[in-house]
Amino acid sequence: MSNAKLRAFLAVARHGSFSAGARALGLSQPTLTTQVQHLEHQHGVELFHRRGRRIELSDVGRQLLPIAQALEALDLEAQHLLRDSGRLDSGQLKLGAVGPFHVIEMVDGYRQRYPRIEVSIRVGNSAQVLADLKNYATDIAVLAGRHDDPALSSVLYARHAVVLFVHHEHPLARRGQVSLQELEGQPLLQREGGSTTRAVMEQALAAAGVVPRVAMEIGSREALREAVVRGMGLGTVSEAEFIADPRIRMVRLEGDPVYTETYLYCLAERRASRLTSSFFEAVQG
């Protein structure tokens, strides 16, 4: 199986069409189409279902995709090692993250040490970021919370208290800190299910026997912030992600009993990779 045919398959799978895949590789569409067809005919399989101008991965294509991505990643790693003799004078490092707050800080520090490494960031929810990592679409994932998986290697990056933020005219806005018990019956705005901040807050409230009044579930940080600005309820956020604004006030929880943790993850099999380990070392150093 040639690398060219696998690259053609990956390009079509990633870009959703033969024409877009051809542009990404700098090939003509007939050339790329021929490469994919040769791969299919060679093994007697169908990798894509063609439905007019639309294409979809077949069952075999879906199974091949992570394998092809892994082979591509290993090929790039070998090229970087042989070309640069481990000096990290060039290369590409792909990161996945659920938000910009920590990952931008990490990349800034990393690029000061390795300015010739090209870094890209893909942002998504936790499930998508983990899937991208396991499918070799990214090299490193930055996630809140611990994910126990023997296929992954992880390191703790930071721990940050969860704080409240309220409208500047709310009675709690005049307080520097409040206890969890004072949230009994308060209108709480919360993120969607799966949010790490929501999960740790719910655990702490339940342990304290506190039952707030859930005013609304909101699917993004930006929308939740706007709801607090409009006085619709109380929001919670990691202290590191709080953005000061004259219309809102940050209120700490007494003793900082609720916190989130940010971890770096990579595939355990790639932890020793020079490129991957360089990022872990830069962040920890």
Q: Which single residue is written with the structure tokens 């093994």?
A: 43
pLDDT tens readout for residues 133-144: 988 889 999 998
In terms of C-beta distances under 8 Å and separation of at least 24 residues, what long-range contacts does 148-152 make, across chains too?
Answer: 150/268, 151/267, 151/268, 151/269, 152/265, 152/266, 152/267, 152/268
Query: Which class for 259: exposed (0-12), middle (13-18), buried (19 or more C-beta within 10 A)?
Result: middle
Give domain status of residue 91, yes or no: no
Give domain status of residue 82, yes or no: no
Q: Whole-model pTM?
A: 0.65
pLDDT greater at residue 136 or residue 85? 136
pLDDT tens readout for residues 152-167: 999 999 999 999 999 9
Give domain status of residue 52, yes or no: yes
Which of 49-53, 183-187, 274-278 shows the lowest per-residue confidence on average (mean pLDDT)? 49-53
For residue 166, what pLDDT is reported? 96
Q: Cα separation of 241 and 254, whole Å?
A: 19
Give domain status of residue 244, yes or no: yes
Q: Which single residue is written with the structure tokens 């990592």?
A: 133
Give domain status of residue 51, yes or no: yes
Give domain status of residue 275, yes or no: no
Query: Which range marks the domain in which residue 38 is found?
Result: 1-62
Give domain status of residue 211, yes or no: yes
**Which CATH number goes with the domain that contains 162?**
3.40.190.10
Evaluate if residue 82 carries a pLDDT over 80. Answer: no
Residue 85: count other Cβ atoms within 10 Å of its Cβ.
Answer: 10
Question: Predicted confidence band at 88 (pLDDT cuts at 50, 70, 90)?
Answer: confident
Q: How many domains does the chain have?
A: 2
- Over residues 8-32, the mean pLDDT reads 91
